[in-house]
Structure 1
Amino acid sequence: MGQAGLLEGRREVRSLDLGLLNEFASIVGKRGLICSPEELHTYECDGLTNFRVLPGAVLLPSSTEQVQSVVRLCHREKIPFVARGSGTGLSGGALPVANGIVLSLARMNRIHEVDLPNARVVVEPGVINLDVTGRVASQDYFYAPDPSSQSVCSIGGNVAENAGGAHCLKYGFTTTHVLGLEVVLPDGSLVHLGGKTLDTPGYDLVGVFVGSEGTLGVATKIILRIVKRPACVRTLLAAFPTTNEAGAAVSGIIAAGMLPAAIEMMDKLAIQAAEAAVHANYPDCGGLLLVELDGPLAEVEALITQVDEICRSNGAWEIRVAQSEAERALVWKGRKAAFAAVGRLSPNYIVQDGVIPRTVLPEVLMEIERLSAE
């Protein structure tokens, strides 16, 4: 989830003595303290499994007050601590400090308020991303950020990492959807940033905090903005000989002035791994493009025809449009399973995000393919 207390550093930290463990237990209860070596191994890394560090103890607070008390004790004793959500991150944000504290927020999983007239929800950091949409879906609302791990990742971790997902192209990252925060600072004091309205007066401290990876504090309540579900959603799947042609299609779609809700590309290895994992019924191709369009029915129907033409002009040899919500869900299930499915190809891997001009996407993909073959 992040690294509050990072300034205390990765220096050598003294082991936690029995007196300190008893103090921590008096705050979170005996069931909220984990200190046996066997159980601590569960928390030695997040989704970036190449790096592992055994913490001195894991604490599971269930309230803001308990978080404050734990952080005050860590501040007093100069014990480094790292806040943790679901541990699904791929950047090592929840990597512990040796002999330090892991502050797991998994038990702070309550949705405090659902305010549909004002399109907002107030949650604790341990609430699962997909559960926010689950709470408001019956009223045709949804929470837009949808990282691949959305069925298990927590809102607190999303805030720390400024998570995005397939639909961030149109709807933006987590920072776009956080209105306010309750935050415990590294000394244990409590502050409130932002509020329940868009663009509260003053400095954008919410924007500073979101994406800070826990270095500024621990979020204990988050005010989220939810979005009304569009009238029409269409998901198109296009198969290309290689990612070069798929990349050219991406460039063509954006150049045409369209803003899809999502546009994702998968190469042959990712397609094969995802297909083996979840049987998404993807075509066997060198490059696969998933394009989702949403909005008014007439607009979406016109745009889907345009996307079809652009894909075909760039060499797509098969194009499908999902005919039901179940079919659409399966298409995205395959894409969202891709990271985990790569484990079938290699037990360890490092994910690298890059930013390149869309106009050179085909050339970059061609060069990556050339380097991969060496």
Structure 2
Amino acid sequence: MNAPAQPSFAPARQREVVDALRRVVPAHCVLFDEEDTRPYECDGLAAYRQLPMVVVLPENEAQVIAIMKACHALQVQIVPRGAGTGLSGGAMPIADGVVVSTAKFNQILKMDKYSRTAVVQPGVRNLAISEAAAPHGLYYAPDPSSQIACSIGGNVAENSGGVHCLKYGLTVHNVLRVRMVTIEGDVVELGSGALDAPGLDLLAVFIGSEGMLGVVTEVTVKLVPKPQAARVIMASFDDVVKGGNAVANVIAAGIIPAGLEMMDKTSSRMVEPFVKAGYDIDAEAILLCESDGTVEEVEEEIGRMTDVLNASGATAIACSQSEAERLRFWSGRKNAFPAAGRISPDYYCMDGTIPRKKLAQVLLGIAEMEKKYGLRCANVFHAGDGNLHPLILFDANIADEFHRAELFGAEILELCVEVGGTITGEHGVGIEKINSMCVQFSPAEREAFFKLKRAFDPAFLLNPDKAIPTLHRCAEYGKMHVQRGQLRFPDLPRF
């Protein structure tokens, strides 16, 4: 693990940037003393840290515009930051750059029960939207495990999902409009409050762009009616392969659950003492399958799912009989990450996506990697859409364990690509998976990504060196993309 980062910028440059920013925003919005900037040295991926030169916290859109213009004039690099709950290092600062935090931008501007939309600022917490919409019988569907703390601006940057993304989709499926500021200080609106918007669909391009194209200042989200009823099945399996196959069988039966999650025995045993969710800790794997809708719809779907799970080899099935029990079942899944701290000093949370039919194969592959790297791995994931979250457990105080955890994680992502999946599902690439991008995408594909970034940010001032790897980086990583058995750049060294 990295030690706390040390300042690595010229004091004169810092003074120049601070003076420029203080001319356009109140002095209390500009942080530059080390004790004030230290909390911003990393996001949820605390293994990688960098002390920022300056942190600025705008309070309105006009200030964001002024900040962008000032930084553009000085050619200062910017890292946009939401709540800092991201797990890929996407909000890690740049040594001589500015962190633009939208934490003070936290107002719900409009709640419209008739159009079922909410207009919010980027610093609004994910869960706060649903809390505000509750009196109207509505809620915001994407629900990351960090929803109590994560902000909607960060959700837009990472295209976050959650346990209900199988039925209700990711952030990109639940956002109608984004208002953002470019690096030159221009305000651009993407999408609209209507079902469609004229011109190219740049909204889908912007969502998930990890702060590389602009800074969000306003978001219009879709709200959905709170279902009349919701119940959860907890199914136990004596074999992870059976559990993985059961996931595919549920979907193959034409059932789209509101949530379909899987946890292995390691995960269940670390969670149960922490939240007392009622999990079967003797099962090799458990599935959580939720149905929501009218009372009649839920009753019928629960019956169909029970039949499929029994036919798939479930050794035990329990179904929530009250809303309190349903929430208790989900509490274990939602608290899997913090519960890891009960059994390991440190953990490394991965994020890859695979075809559902490959679940069993990948889980067996991860089990072999545990032996190879001498580290435990707790598997907890959005099984319904194949989004894996392996938690690699290690101790940073033991020499080489973090390095082995990194290698373990990289091999999991390579396996995801090998079986037809992708290296991320909802956590983004950031710095954590940037080398793995070399495995999945060819040089031509990566250059297309860079061309898109140049269209928004020609000088590469917005969150540079994140998400898209350069050709040089991929050559150093030794993972040149091969197509039809031929290397596109055979003159480059292979390691």
Q: Could you tell me the TM-score, scaled by structure 2's length?
A: 0.71
Supply the distance in 1 between the matched residues of 2:273 and 2:155 (Cα, whole angstroms): 28
Deviation of 1:319 (Å): 1.5
What's 1:193 paired with?
A: 190
Q: Which moved more, 1:334-343 or 1:75-84?
A: 334-343
Supply the distance in 2 between the matched residues of 1:73 and 1:291 (Cα, whole angstroms): 51
What aligned pairs does 1:1-374 form with structure 2 within 5 A after superposition? 14-15=10-11, 16-284=13-281, 285-374=283-372
Deviation of 1:14 (Å): 4.7
Let me know the Cα RMSD of the aligned residues. Answer: 1.6
Supply the distance in 2 between the matched residues of 1:76 and 1:360 (Cα, whole angstroms): 50
Supply the distance in 1 between the matched residues of 2:98 and 2:49 (Cα, whole angstroms): 14
Aligned partners of 1:273 and 1:345 also within 8 Å: yes
Q: State the secondary structure of the residue aligned to 1:86.
A: coil
Supply the distance in 1 between the matched residues of 2:14 and 2:33 (Cα, whole angstroms): 13
Deviation of 1:312 (Å): 2.2
Change (3 A) 1:179 1:17: same
For residues 250-299 of structure 1, what are the alpha-carbon distances to aligned partners after superposition, in whole Å with 9 as ceiling and x for unaligned? 11101111011110001122212222332222121221111111123222
4+ long deviations beyond 4 Å: 12-15
For residues 313-367 of structure 1, what are the alpha-carbon distances to aligned partners after superposition, in whole Å with 9 as ceiling and x for unaligned? 2332221111222221122121111122223333443333223222232232223
**Corresponding letter in the other structure for 1:310:** V
Aligned partners of 1:144 and 1:171 also within 8 Å: yes
Deviation of 1:91 (Å): 0.9
What's 1:6 paired with?
A: none
Aligned partners of 1:88 and 1:153 also within 8 Å: yes
Supply the distance in 1 between the matched residues of 2:292 and 2:113 (Cα, whole angstroms): 21
Q: State the secondary structure of the residue aligned to 1:350.
A: strand
Supply the distance in 1 between the matched residues of 2:135 and 2:233 (Cα, whole angstroms): 25
For residues 227-256 of structure 1, what are the alpha-carbon distances to aligned partners after superposition, in whole Å with 9 as ceiling and x for unaligned? 112222111111222322211111110111
For residues 42-97 of structure 1, what are the alpha-carbon distances to aligned partners after superposition, in whole Å with 9 as ceiling and x for unaligned? 11110111110110011111100111111111101111110111100011110100
Q: State the secondary structure of the residue aligned to 2:55.
A: strand
Supply the distance in 2 between the matched residues of 1:354 and 1:30 (Cα, whole angstroms): 42
Q: State the secondary structure of the residue aligned to 2:183.
A: coil
Supply the distance in 2 between the matched residues of 1:325 and 1:26 (Cα, whole angstroms): 53
Aligned partners of 1:83 and 1:218 also within 8 Å: yes
Aligned partners of 1:263 and 1:289 also within 8 Å: yes
Q: Is there any run of 5+ residues in structure 2 with no aligned partner, and where?
A: 1-7, 373-495
For residues 9-45 of structure 1, what are the alpha-carbon distances to aligned partners after superposition, in whole Å with 9 as ceiling and x for unaligned? xxx8655332431332343323212212122221111
Aligned partners of 1:50 and 1:348 also within 8 Å: no
Supply the distance in 1 between the matched residues of 2:14 and 2:370 (Cα, whole angstroms): 50
Q: Which moved more, 1:302-311 or 1:205-214?
A: 302-311
Supply the distance in 1 between the matched residues of 2:38 and 2:277 (Cα, whole angstroms): 34
**Corresponding letter in the other structure for 1:232:** A
Supply the distance in 2 between the matched residues of 1:19 and 1:49 (Cα, whole angstroms): 29
Change (3 A) 1:244 1:183: same
Aligned partners of 1:111 and 1:123 also within 8 Å: yes
Q: State the secondary structure of the residue aligned to 1:289.
A: strand
What's 1:5 paired with?
A: none
Deviation of 1:192 (Å): 1.3
Aligned partners of 2:31 and 2:54 also within 8 Å: yes
Supply the distance in 1 between the matched residues of 2:369 and 2:327 (Cα, whole angstroms): 34
Q: Could you tell me the TM-score, scaled by structure 1's length?
A: 0.93
Deviation of 1:371 (Å): 2.9
Supply the distance in 1 between the matched residues of 2:16 and 2:331 (Cα, whole angstroms): 48
Change (3 A) 1:31 1:266: same
Aligned partners of 1:83 and 1:102 also within 8 Å: yes
Supply the distance in 1 between the matched residues of 2:235 and 2:97 (Cα, whole angstroms): 49
Q: State the secondary structure of the residue aligned to 2:24.
A: helix
Supply the distance in 2 between the matched residues of 1:327 and 1:14 (Cα, whole angstroms): 57
**Corresponding letter in the other structure for 2:273:** A
Aligned-pair identity in percent equals 44
Deviation of 1:204 (Å): 0.8
Q: State the secondary structure of the residue aligned to 2:349.
A: coil
Aligned partners of 1:242 and 1:267 also within 8 Å: no
**Corresponding letter in the other structure for 1:362:** A
Q: State the secondary structure of the residue aligned to 2:133.
A: helix
Q: Which moved more, 1:188-197 or 1:310-319?
A: 310-319
Deviation of 1:307 (Å): 1.3
Q: State the secondary structure of the residue aligned to 1:38.
A: helix
Q: Which moved more, 1:287-296 or 1:149-158?
A: 287-296
Supply the distance in 2 between the matched residues of 1:23 and 1:357 (Cα, whole angstroms): 50
Supply the distance in 2 between the matched residues of 1:41 and 1:348 (Cα, whole angstroms): 21
The count of residues paired between Structure 1 and Structure 2 equals 363
Q: Which moved more, 1:36-45 or 1:208-217?
A: 36-45
Q: Which moved more, 1:263-272 or 1:356-365?
A: 356-365
Aligned partners of 1:182 and 1:220 also within 8 Å: yes
